[in-house]
């Protein structure tokens, strides 16, 4: 039987430069995308309310939020393209 993979969550949670990481916490996303925490919280709320991007935010517990880095990047591109449109669906 293969040996289970051990993941150091502290290392992943503080270093967005790891290329094989799929999900990050709020601190990682803020650092990687140069956002402040209040802007990120607002954008995560928008992602949760949009069916296209809601799968990119995982609320594992009431304190732990995991954000799919690729989906968040797609959301930022979508947000940039649709910022002046009335109906953003």
For the chain, the domains span 9-81
pLDDT of residue 12: 55
Mean pLDDT of 39-49: 95
- Is 73 within 8 Å of 16 (Cβ atoms)? no
pLDDT of residue 14: 58
Mean pLDDT of 52-71: 93
Provide the percentage of residues in the chain whose pLDDT is more than 70.
73
Q: Is the pLDDT of residue 50 over 90?
A: yes
pLDDT of residue 7: 54
Mean pLDDT of 11-37: 78
Q: In the structure, what pLDDT confidence band is assigned to residue 84 with cuts at 50, 70 and 90?
A: confident
- Is 18 within 8 Å of 28 (Cβ atoms)? no
């Amino acid at each position: 039987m293969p040996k289970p993979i051990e993941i150091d969550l502290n290392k992943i949670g503080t270093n967005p430069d790891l290329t094989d990481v799929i999900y990050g916490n709020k601190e990682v996303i803020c650092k990687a995308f140069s956002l402040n925490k209040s802007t990120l919280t607002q954008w995560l709320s928008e992602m949760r309310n949009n069916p296209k991007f809601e799968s990119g935010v995982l609320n594992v517990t009431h304190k732990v939020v995991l954000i799919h880095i690729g989906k968040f990047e797609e959301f930022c591109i979508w947000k940039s393209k649709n910022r002046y449109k009335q109906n953003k669906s």
